[in-house]
Amino acid sequence: MDSGSVASLLFEAASLMLIGMVFVFSFLGLLIVGIHLIARFCEAFPGETAEPSANLKGPSANLSRNNQAVQPGIDGNVIAAISAAIHTHRQNSKK
């Protein structure tokens, strides 16, 4: 290999590296600008916030027997089965 081809390959590698770095820097800059624009849009036009439900029947309406909060996606039968399994395990481990 002569030095001319090595020099041209090094120049091509450096130019590709520079183009790649400029592309990444530009993409990240646009991403930051986009995030700031979205934040300003959200500040200017806030959405509706979820308010607590007014049809609760006391302070312990969302509490189960064991004083644990019931999550909306969990079935009461599953909670009862888990509670029974824990109770059985604790009774068996005492013996």
Q: What is the pLDDT of residues 28-87, one digit of tens each?
A: 999 999 999 999 999 998 887 766 555 555 554 454 455 555 567 788 888 899 999 999
What pTM value is reported for the model?
0.44
Distance between CA 58 and CA 38 in Å, rounded?
40
pLDDT number for residue 32: 98
pLDDT for the residue 78 = 87
* Cross-strand pairs, 63: 69
pLDDT at 48: 78
pLDDT score of 64: 47
Pure H helices in the chain? 3-44, 76-94
Give the three-class secondary structure for 66.
coil
Q: Residue 79: which residues within 8 A CB-CB, separation 6 or more?
A: 64, 70
DSSP assignment, residue 69? B
Instruction: Specify the pLDDT at position 72.
Output: 73
Q: What is the pLDDT of residue 58?
A: 52
Take residue 39 and report the two structure tokens written for it: 């934040």
Task: Place 95 in a pLDDT band, splitting at 50, 70 and 90.
Answer: low
